[in-house]
A and B are shown apart, each in its own frame.
Chain A
């Protein structure tokens, strides 16, 4: 195995920019790794070997004449298959978009290309980003490199697994209820949901438009910050894009890495423990809080009494928006069409196509959303859920008057076995218990690995939440914690991923 694949994105960029190694060599090393182990992991739905090598060669040419497009120029990345790409299919993990080649690049894709980031391929995900395990992908589940019998989280399990399997040093995820942070937590990687509206949704196939947010997935906090600054920024093509400068997250990560949190006030959300929380998760989380205190942070307990309603409100709002968004899959303009040429009407073709093209979880949520939005139920369900959203925002606002950041476990449990929860949608939804509040209020939140749970030996995530448009605060705290964690645990957690057996793709 090439040692290049073990390096951080920041270190790879440094070597590429100093011309100690070429982007082509780095890209090839990762393509080789994918070819070697992705048969076991199944992080990728599509690998763009030729396109990636051509993009890398172009970056090398530019660097040879002294032009470095960005701090991450030449570094390879795995892109979640929910963002459109003109040179690779975009399936969203669904049969309804099998082999669909989009006619335009998402803004995130375009920004990556402009920054000289090399896109290796598209990563597996729960269909339409609905799920917490990738088991809802129409193309088969991704496996967790820590234990191939277990889920890598979801919906962005392909992106998180690609990082933990050293198939890519950078990845992009999207987070509607935790789909970046929960996969990060269960694979021992870093996942960031930036403030809603700071990364463009143009070209992000919509699930729940008022919640969907793309963000960086990496193995270190600094890498996440570097990627954050590449993809964030105002975009007139997204009507919910915030027209404000990108927050100085790289500077904050570097400041945090000095290991000093004096004067930083950290609030522990007291509602996020108790019944349903695995003891090993709570113990790892408590140890992380002790380390924050040792770094100089002032730690207090904070109550957010309405967070308990977040899960219920989410599973009304997200399906409602999904039922509306997914109406566009009508078998007319793109995607699958079933029953054409049999004398059937457009409506019949539409119904047969959607029946054949959507998987069970997508259908469940479309039906649930149709119900919640229907006359007679709207006030009781959707209307109440929107009130909950206000109450959660107020809880956050009150908390951030007392503290600079909030912390909680990212997930109530470590990675579960593939198949264990697939027949029980509600048990699956409980994965998102701690991550959903930040989606409802729109503020930034991230997961940073905080060790292995003593009871399962699997990774646990520390979630850090910041006020809206103050994402740099969570980067500072996470970076400081990362340094302390590595010192206390004898090196980065990610180095303890077991060696993967070679199973070619």
Chain B
């Protein structure tokens, strides 16, 4: 029977870049445990020798002709940016103070 701890949920939230609150951790840990228990029944087939399906329609090597096509202008690409400067996306600093 799977079980997911509050600490594990906190770790997963960090990996997923979600600054969750303590209240959310309490709530999600319980709910995720219930959900995992319900979905774990897929494990009943794990020993069966069947190939996995990743996609309903198996398509491989989808190529297109290497030709220039219209694309977004710089202005369009930046139109939804939370912050732009000198025709570029302006982002917060990447490194922390101690790095």
Do chains A and B stick together as partners?
yes
A→B interface (CB under 8 Å): 100-104, 196-197, 210-211, 236, 239-240, 242, 306, 308-309, 311-313, 315-316, 323, 327, 330-337, 339-340, 344-352, 354-355, 358, 360, 363-364, 366-368, 370-371, 374, 379-381, 383-391, 393, 425-426, 429, 440-443, 468
Judging by beta carbons under 8 Å apart, are B92 and A426 in contact?
Answer: no
Name the distance in Å between A35's Cβ and chain B's nearest Cβ: 29
* Most-contacted residue by chain A among B24, B32, B79, B91 (CB, 10 A): B91
B26-68 contact mask (Cβ, 8 Å, vs A): 1 or 0: 0110011011101111111110101111111101001010000
When A210-B56, A381-B39, A393-B53 are in contact, do A387 and B48 touch as well, CB less than 8 Å? Answer: yes
Q: Which of B10-36 contact A (CB under 8 A)?
A: 12-21, 24, 27-28, 31-32, 34-36
Known: A345-B92, A388-B42, A391-B45. 16 other contacts (CB 8 A): A197-B56, A313-B42, A315-B38, A323-B16, A336-B82, A345-B96, A346-B92, A351-B14, A358-B18, A364-B31, A370-B15, A380-B46, A387-B45, A387-B53, A389-B52, A440-B53
Judging by beta carbons under 8 Å apart, are B79 and A103 in contact?
Answer: yes
Judging by beta carbons under 8 Å apart, are B17 and A351 in contact?
Answer: yes
Instruction: Give the chain A neighbours of B72 by CB distance below 8 A.
Output: 103-104
Instruction: Give the chain A neighbours of B39 by CB distance below 8 A.
Output: 311-313, 315-316, 381, 385
Judging by beta carbons under 8 Å apart, are A346 and B55 in contact?
Answer: no
Q: CA separation between A348 and B89, bound complex, in Å?
A: 17
Tell me the count of chain B residues lying within 8 A, CB to CB, of chain A. Answer: 57
Instruction: Give the chain A neighbours of B52 by CB distance below 8 A.
Output: 383, 386-387, 389-390
Judging by beta carbons under 8 Å apart, are A367 and B28 in contact?
Answer: yes
Instruction: Give the chain B neighbours of A339 by CB distance below 8 A.
Output: 92
When A364-B28, A366-B16 are in contact, do A102 and B80 touch as well, CB less than 8 Å? Answer: yes
Identity of the chain A residue whose Cβ is nearest the Cβ of B52 in the assembled complex = A386
Q: CA separation between A70 and B24, bound complex, in Å?
A: 50
Instruction: Give the chain B neighbours of A196 by CB distance below 8 A.
Output: 56-57
Judging by beta carbons under 8 Å apart, are A333 and B81 in contact?
Answer: yes
Q: CA separation between A339 and B19, bound complex, in Å?
A: 12
Judging by beta carbons under 8 Å apart, are B94 and A197 in contact?
Answer: no
Q: CA separation between A102 and B8, bound complex, in Å?
A: 37
Name the distance in Å between A471's Cβ and chain B's nearest Cβ: 14
* Most-contacted residue by chain B among A313, A331, A370 (CB, 10 A): A370
Partner of B35, one of A315, A334, A350, A351: A315
Partner of A240, one of B8, B59, B76, B94: B59
Partner of A101, one of B4, B79, B83, B89: B79
Q: CA separation between A346 and B83, bound complex, in Å?
A: 13
Q: CA separation between A388 and B50, bound complex, in Å?
A: 9
Instruction: Give the chain B neighbours of A312 by CB distance below 8 A.
Output: 38-42
Judging by beta carbons under 8 Å apart, are B42 and A316 in contact?
Answer: yes
When A197-B56, A344-B92, A363-B20 are in contact, do A387 and B46 touch as well, CB less than 8 Å? Answer: yes
When A346-B94, A379-B46, A384-B42 are in contact, do A340 and B31 touch as well, CB less than 8 Å? Answer: no
Identity of the chain B residue whose Cβ is nearest the Cβ of A332 in the assembled complex = B91
Tell me if B1 counts as interface (CB < 8 A to partner A): no
Name the distance in Å between B79's Cβ and chain A's nearest Cβ: 5
Judging by beta carbons under 8 Å apart, are B32 and A371 in contact?
Answer: yes
Name the distance in Å between A285's Cβ and chain B's nearest Cβ: 25
Name the distance in Å between B49's Cβ and chain A's nearest Cβ: 9
Name the distance in Å between B73's Cβ and chain A's nearest Cβ: 8
Name the distance in Å between B88's Cβ and chain A's nearest Cβ: 11
Partner of B76, one of A103, A323, A386: A103
List, sorted by A's number, 27 A–B pairs whose CB atoms are closer than 8 Å.
A103-B76, A196-B57, A312-B41, A313-B39, A332-B82, A332-B91, A333-B81, A336-B82, A351-B17, A351-B19, A354-B17, A354-B18, A363-B13, A363-B20, A367-B12, A367-B32, A374-B12, A381-B40, A383-B46, A388-B42, A388-B45, A391-B45, A393-B56, A425-B31, A440-B53, A442-B55, A468-B57
Name the distance in Å between A414's Cβ and chain B's nearest Cβ: 23
When A345-B94, A367-B18 are in contact, do A309 and B32 touch as well, CB less than 8 Å? Answer: no
When A309-B45, A364-B32, A371-B4 are in contact, do A442 and B56 touch as well, CB less than 8 Å? Answer: yes
Instruction: Give the chain A neighbours of B89 by CB distance below 8 A.
Output: 332-333
Instruction: Give the chain B neighbours of A330 by CB distance below 8 A.
Output: 17
Instruction: Give the chain A neighbours of B15 by CB distance below 8 A.
Output: 370, 374
Partner of A426, one of B12, B27, B38: B38
Q: CA separation between A426 and B41, bound complex, in Å?
A: 14
Q: CA separation between A239 and B17, bound complex, in Å?
A: 29
When A104-B72, A346-B92 are in contact, do A370 and B16 touch as well, CB less than 8 Å? Answer: yes
Instruction: Give the chain A neighbours of B19 by CB distance below 8 A.
Output: 348, 351-352, 354-355
Name the distance in Å between B70's Cβ and chain A's nearest Cβ: 10
